[in-house]
Structure 1
Amino acid sequence: MDVSPQRPLSRRLFVTGLGATAAAASVPGLIRVDGAHAAPPGTGGTLPDGVFSLGVASGDPLPGGVVLWTRLAPDPLFGGGMPDRPYPVEWEVADDDTFARVVRRGRVVALPQQGHSVHAEVEGLRPGATYAYRFRAGGRISPVGYTRTAPAGSVAAVRFAFASCQNWQDGYFTAYHHLAGEDLDFVAFLGDYIYESVPRTTTVRTHEGTGEPVGLVEYRNRHAQYRSDPNLQAAHANFPWIVTWDDHEVDNNWVDEIPQDPAQQSPEAFRARRQAAFQAYYEHMPLRRGSRPRGLDLQLYRRLRFGDLVDLHVLDTRQYRSDQPATLEAASTDASLTMTGEEQERWLVDGLTDGGTRWNLLANQVMWAQNDRTAGEVDTFDLDNWDGYRVQRRRLLELFGSGSVANPVVLTGDRHCTWVADLEPDFDDPSSPVVGAEITGTSISSGGDSDPVAFQNTYRPIAEESPHWKYWDNQRGYVVCDVTPERMLSSLRLVDTVWQSEGATVRTSAEFLVEAGRPGVTVEYQEPRTVQQRAQSRRDSGPVYDVDDVDETADLQR
């Protein structure tokens, strides 16, 4: 169905009108049913106000459709507050935000064993088109969300943002207030959506609960607390998201079935914890039914295509990886160490070399580029990063330089810093060729308000020994990427504080250019030092809080 909207959609309406909805009229004649369950009789009934307290979201856009998400949770921090029975939920997708021109309708059943979450996979939409959507349940109507399908065929441009690391206790999500006002095709989230750390009262705000989440209800409550943030809700409601995880969604630095602290968590206990964390993660993310957890497993690595312009390869570098090596020698020589597992690596290689698009972008969790932490003759590395898996890294980077991978760019989270680097198969060999680029984005809030002067003083002498580094900074924000057949321009968008809930401003602090056919990255723009100093002055004049999470150094090896 090709219907023109009565008036242009404005996804920015959600930023200024959170919770604003149209009148709760009944849905006439549902024209299709989405989901594995038909609504049994007698499962409905009136629900209390606030049943849509966690907002709405969409994700994984395809040329013909998206997945729509919500969760029924009138008492979100205490298990959700829903009766222990199924509830039918109706959804609508429209060409206009008044829903006068509805193009798809359907119904799913929100099940208690899925936390009353909803994952409605909508099909039959136009490629590259913007739509409004909403849900109805128990006489209540959700806020309006906006989504966009992926383009198809010949594509002139794609614009997206990527973000990571949003520790609730370290700061307010002020960056999302500004991200929600951008004009984007999608948002890629690269990991650490929640943090499993214990509640602290000396930070900006306090985690719910009494300790680290371990069971399903505890992980649900932690996710629900994060989802309650209005700025995060606005960012979800304005664009489709493509999500992956890192470690804090489960346990710091976990790998496969191994926790951070095996002496404190038995194998059986950690498997149960992993299963609970996976279930809660799926319940709160706009993922398709193919990612529904099955036992200990959740299928998260996947590929999304945006016409002939971009392949986005979404990685999972936690679920299948080998344990972190104990020494740098092992990291450098042990060919059995893997970050991805053999199956995911074959999948990645097949996708990178199929020649279907102009750009190959990797949605990745931890840094690829070699990242020394000390100046001088002694080198120090975090072996939880790709520095700990050097044989596999070299193998993949040699593939980048083989001529069979078009314009590879790695997009990374985790570091709570912006780190822009050329990628080389052997970072210690001056003659090693540049084969790609990596843009590591900073955190949304993790690390709190930073001290960029001290950071620069620490890393400037190390940078003199690391010529592949092009830019580094530790302030908070996100990255916006404009991709065309000729180039990819990435803009670092920084906020001046995350320690105040309102009034933070945003600025473009730097721009990074990757040109098609020319491996590597250049810094096209960098703000004057006086701008950084003004931002630092504002932070210094405001409140000061403890930081719950910093760039972990538990696996540093010299």
Structure 2
Amino acid sequence: MRSISRREFVAALSATGLAASPWLAAQGRDAVDRDAAFSHGVASGDPLHDRVILWTRVTPRKLDDVIEGRWRLSSDPTMKQVCSSGWFTTDITCDFTVKIDVTHLEAGATYYYQFEARGARSPIGRTKTLPVGGVNSLKLAFASCSNFPYGYFNAYGRIAERQDLDLVLHLGDYIYEYPLGGYVNPALVGIRDVVPVNEILTLSDYRLRHALYKSDRDLQEAHRLHPFICVWDDHESANDAWKDGAENHNPHEGEGEWHIRKRNAVRAYNEYMPIRSTSRNDDKIYRRFRIGNLADLIMLDTRLHGRDLQAAFKTGESQLPTNDPVVTDPSRSLLGLDQEQWLEQQLWSSKTRGARWRVLGQQVMMAQLSTSFGTTMLNADQWDGYAPARARLYDFLSTNGIGNNVVLTGDIHSSWANDLTANPWDPSVYNPATGSGVAGVEFVAPAVTSPGPAPDAATAAVLAGQLRFISPHMKYIDLYRRGYGVLHLTPQRVTGEFYHVATIDTPDGTESLAARLVSEAGNNALQQA
């Protein structure tokens, strides 16, 4: 996300008269031989009721190494009750990464795993399969926008410490593509520098950048202790990407063809992330996870699969009319028409099988963001810029009586809790007091490190208050603090919490609960807890 700068955001608010000012601890951290062979840690992901992906990378001594190793899965943390094991081979063709899809597991069970290679053992990881049948509770963390040179990943460290999570969702911008010195925290220059030093373009570049991120100990601990379900956003390839290009891809400056860069980014992502893919070049990341009778988790790709080119702002303007002919073109899509159809099938299937909740994990804000009561928009990169596609989704939910919908979002480097409705400024469509007209609720994750739209907490509070004043569907906004979210699902309600860390400038273990909101089953609207 880079469609609107702080200066542009404040300018837009000022133009409307709204802005007053500018804007298993020891195992993980001290594991024997970690630096020798497993310097990028271990991870698990894409859990189903009977299987889970295990991941690691074996650090090679030479690039022509062919490394053989062993993996084990146990029901106890001492690795004595081994219930599955096997062998692997890895080499330069996958940058020495290892992915194992372990099957025939018990539903809703906790497992422990470990890799061995070159006479060394990895840290012991912990993972969990999804439950089946009657499920009374599920708790997950959700996070996004972790820019390595902008700060320490303290939010990942706090996620790692939690003992109450079933899984973690990462909603995109897991890595950033910028060169050394680009989009950095000045206080950390020379401390958290990136490799390679250039903007990443080639397969080798993307691999090196992923490897750098995987070297962070807080991120390693979060991966080691919780299964992840991930989707990419734009910065895993290039800023403001769409299916045939990106704002930060410039062929005329020697960056080559987009489809080659995109293929490189996709391959490195598949190699380095614990995601279930059919091949290293598999670019279909939209998928569904069943959580018993409690919920269906539906992960979307609003970025690379089917997104049409974003609508363009006129030179010097920081707002785009919502009646712009590009924005209102019904042939444009954020998901692609095939993914739209797939999503409708998943939503209908979820309702007919009797799941209580539908949770959509996706990248960009779905709620309307406007400083002019809906006549203009601030960011054409999010669902506002693809209004007919959003209307099709809302119409499908309404026509088919599909309620209890929750959207989890990343991208915008700030915390938001929103009612989702076709027109939040039309009282005949939406009643913020009763929740009438609400299609679902949205929780937007704060960034792990990337900077928000406001330069400090005081300015953020003023701007958030102004936005809340003209946006009845927005129930909570924080435009400055970093952290993560937690979603707790029960048959009775869904509870969303925002946790903010004290700083990203130094390693720090302090966090605070900033807000808690609930949506009662059958109501669809958000309320303060």
Is TM more than 0.5 here? yes
Matched, 1:71 2:43: no
Verify the 8 A CA contact 2:403 2:524 in the aligned structure 1: no
User: Residue type matched to 1:463 in 2?
Assistant: R
Aligned pairs for 1:70-89 within 5 A: 70-74=56-60, 82-89=62-69
1:499 aligns with one of 485, 501, 505: 505
SS in 2 for 1:184: coil
1:415 aligns with one of 412, 415, 425: 412
Kindly tell me: are residues 339 and 267 of structure 1, through their superposed partners in 2, closer, same or farther at Cα, counting changes over 3 Å?
farther
SS in 1 for 2:201: coil
2:264 aligns with one of 266, 272, 276: 276
Deviation at 1:21, TM superposition (A): 4.8
Verify the 8 A CA contact 1:160 1:481 in the aligned structure 2: yes
Matched, 1:156 2:136: yes
1:236 aligns with one of 205, 210, 223: 223
1:445 aligns with one of 431, 442, 449: 449
User: Residue type matched to 1:209 in 2?
Assistant: P
Aligned pairs for 1:180-195 within 5 A: 180-182=160-162, 183-195=164-176
Aligned residues: 476
Distance 2:378 2:296 in 1: 31
Verify the 8 A CA contact 2:365 2:383 in the aligned structure 1: yes
- After superposing the two structures, state which structure 1 stretch, 101-110 or 452-461, moved more: 452-461
Please name the residue that 1:362 is paired with.
360
Distance 2:383 2:505 in 1: 32
Aligned pairs for 1:320-335 within 5 A: 320-326=306-312, 328=321, 329-335=324-330
Verify the 8 A CA contact 2:127 2:227 in the aligned structure 1: yes
Kindly tell me: are residues 196 and 268 of structure 1, through their superposed partners in 2, closer, same or farther at Cα, counting changes over 3 Å?
closer
SS in 2 for 1:278: helix
- After superposing the two structures, state which structure 1 stretch, 320-329 or 153-162, moved more: 320-329
User: Residue type matched to 1:479 in 2?
Assistant: G
Verify the 8 A CA contact 1:49 1:140 in the aligned structure 2: no
Distance 1:393 1:159 in 2: 27
Distance 1:237 1:267 in 2: 36
Distance 2:139 2:165 in 1: 5
Verify the 8 A CA contact 1:331 1:387 in the aligned structure 2: no
Kindly tell me: are residues 265 and 64 of structure 1, through their superposed partners in 2, closer, same or farther at Cα, counting changes over 3 Å?
farther
Verify the 8 A CA contact 1:300 1:316 in the aligned structure 2: yes
Distance 1:203 1:258 in 2: 33
Matched, 1:427 2:424: yes
Distance 1:375 1:365 in 2: 24
Please name the residue that 2:232 is paired with.
245
Identity of aligned residues (%): 38
Aligned pairs for 1:94-493 within 5 A: 94-182=74-162, 183-200=164-181, 202-204=186-188, 205-260=192-247, 261-262=249-250, 264=252, 268-290=256-278, 292-294=279-281, 298-319=283-304, 320-326=306-312, 328=321, 329-354=324-349, 355=351, 356=353, 357-372=355-370, 374=371, 379-432=376-429, 433-447=437-451, 451-474=456-479, 475-493=481-499
TM-score, reference length from structure 1: 0.82
Deviation at 1:403, TM superposition (A): 4.4
1:18 aligns with one of 5, 28, 32: 28
Runs of 4+ in 1 over 6 A off after TM superposition: none
Verify the 8 A CA contact 1:418 1:471 in the aligned structure 2: yes
How big is the alpha-carbon RMSD for the aligned residues of Structure 1 and Structure 2? 2.1
Distance 2:253 2:343 in 1: 32
Distance 2:250 2:40 in 1: 34
Distance 1:457 1:237 in 2: 39
Distance 2:254 2:328 in 1: 30
TM-score, reference length from structure 2: 0.86
Distance 1:323 1:420 in 2: 27
Please name the residue that 1:34 is paired with.
none
Kindly tell me: are residues 342 and 207 of structure 1, through their superposed partners in 2, closer, same or farther at Cα, counting changes over 3 Å?
same
- After superposing the two structures, state which structure 1 stretch, 339-348 or 192-201, moved more: 192-201
Distance 1:379 1:103 in 2: 58
Verify the 8 A CA contact 1:119 1:289 in the aligned structure 2: no
User: Residue type matched to 1:282 in 2?
Assistant: N
Please name the residue that 1:77 is paired with.
none
- Render the CA deviation track for 1:25-75: whole Å, top value 9, x for unaligned: xxxxxxxxxxxxxxxxxxxxxxx952210000000111111010011125x
- Runs of at least 5 residues in structure 1 that lack an aligned partner in the other structure: 1-12, 25-47, 75-80, 525-558
